[in-house]
Amino acid sequence: MKKSYILCVDDGSKDKTWNLIQESAEKSTYIRGIKLSRNMGHQTALLAGLNATSSCAAVISIDADLQDDIYAIRKMLDAWQNGFEIVYGVRDDRSTDTVFKRQTAKFFYKIMHLLGIELVSQHADFRLLDHKALQALLQYNENNLFLRGLIPLIGFSTTSVHYSRLKRIAGTSKYPLARMISLAVEGITSLSVAPLRAIAIIGLFVTSIATLCIVYALLTKLFSHAVSGWTSVTIAIFFMGGVQMLSLAIIGEYIGKIYLETKRRPRYHIQSTKQKK
């Protein structure tokens, strides 16, 4: 344990975060830091930290707000020493979160499971990765990152450590509703083609309904007096227009990801690093 250290990743902050990291690193060999050249997003910053610690025997990732219980780290290490290569930190008590956040989290995991995406329920990014598991994770080269969905794909022996989510000591959450929705979309479109298949199912359903309407219209025309009206036509136009726009939006999301992946741009740039010599 003497070789252990804490690596702080500054995701392009605009405040005094990097200065505080530098000061801490100057005082202790147990503190190190890397600063990204700009804000690249939570998942990319986390990957940068994992890359920087890829030579370690085991790595534990944890958010800086410390709402994840640091005392669960000992349990993670015990599980690792017992042979587990991936140890998930799972929240079994989220009473400190708002009702809205708890309910949206439950809905998120349900949607993910319905779409066939393998996720550990109530697990975010608090986890232990053995050296072998980390090396396997770093072989995934996509730029559209959703790490909590990628890690179950690599396999290896896994277990979970349960803990209660703590209250935030200071600051405010950097994950408002808009970013939560963005993360959910990123996870779904990065790991599943179910939305594309849903478009095919919706198209088949709408085509079936349209076919029935056509048959009904023809029978009405042939065997009874057809009253002309604009209601049915208007409803059909708006309905089909809505379905088409939704379908194009989903397809566009996937095409956009293909576009970004083919560029093969660097995920991030490290502006500076700091550790005591």
Residues 163 and 177 in one domain: yes
What does DSSP assign to residue 165? Answer: P
Residue 126, phi then psi, degrees to nearest 5: -95, 105
Residues 186 and 239 in one domain: no
Last residue of a domain, one of 163, 192, 221: 192
Residues 87 and 179 in one domain: yes
Residues 164 and 179 in one domain: yes
User: What CATH number did the domain enclosing 147 receive?
Assistant: 3.90.550.10
| Spatial CA neighbour of 66 closest among 15, 24, 6, 26 | 6
Last residue of a domain, one of 151, 167, 192: 192
Residues 62 and 161 in one domain: yes
Residues 117 and 133 in one domain: yes
| Chain position carrying tokens 């890359």 | 51
Instruction: Give the pLDDT confidence score for residue 147 in this predicted structure.
Output: 82
Q: Return d(Cα 52, Cα 33) in angstroms, integer.
A: 10
Residues 177 and 48 in one domain: yes
Instruction: Give the pLDDT confidence score for residue 75 in this predicted structure.
Output: 92
Instruction: Give the pLDDT confidence score for residue 189 in this predicted structure.
Output: 67
Examine residue 179 and state whether it is found in any structural domain, yes or no.
Answer: yes
Residues 235 and 167 in one domain: no
Residues 167 and 250 in one domain: no
Contacts of 16 (CB under 8 A, 6+ apart): none
Examine residue 21 and state whether it is found in any structural domain, yes or no.
Answer: no
Residues 138 and 230 in one domain: no
Examine residue 215 and state whether it is found in any structural domain, yes or no.
Answer: yes
The parent domain of residue 121 ranges over: 40-192
Examine residue 135 and state whether it is found in any structural domain, yes or no.
Answer: yes
Handedness of CA 254, 258, 261, 267 (dihedral sign): negative
User: E strands within 44-134?
Assistant: 58-61, 86-93, 123-130
Q: pLDDT averaged over consecutive 10-residue blocks of the chain (277 residues)?
A: 82 86 88 87 87 89 85 91 91 73 75 75 86 89 79 87 78 62 70 70 70 66 61 63 71 72 71 75
In this prediction the pTM is 0.67
Number of domains in the chain: 2
Instruction: Give the pLDDT confidence score for residue 79 in this predicted structure.
Output: 92
For 28-49, b/e burial (b = at least 16 CB within 10 A) is eeebbbbbbeeebbbbbbbbbb
Residues 49 and 131 in one domain: yes
Instruction: Give the pLDDT confidence score for residue 84 in this predicted structure.
Output: 92
Examine residue 31 and state whether it is found in any structural domain, yes or no.
Answer: no
Instruction: Give the pLDDT confidence score for residue 175 in this predicted structure.
Output: 59
Last residue of a domain, one of 135, 169, 192: 192
Instruction: Give the pLDDT confidence score for residue 60 in this predicted structure.
Output: 92
Examine residue 253 and state whether it is found in any structural domain, yes or no.
Answer: yes
Instruction: Give the pLDDT confidence score for residue 27 in this predicted structure.
Output: 87
Examine residue 272 and state whether it is found in any structural domain, yes or no.
Answer: no
Residues 47 and 163 in one domain: yes
Examine residue 23 and state whether it is found in any structural domain, yes or no.
Answer: no
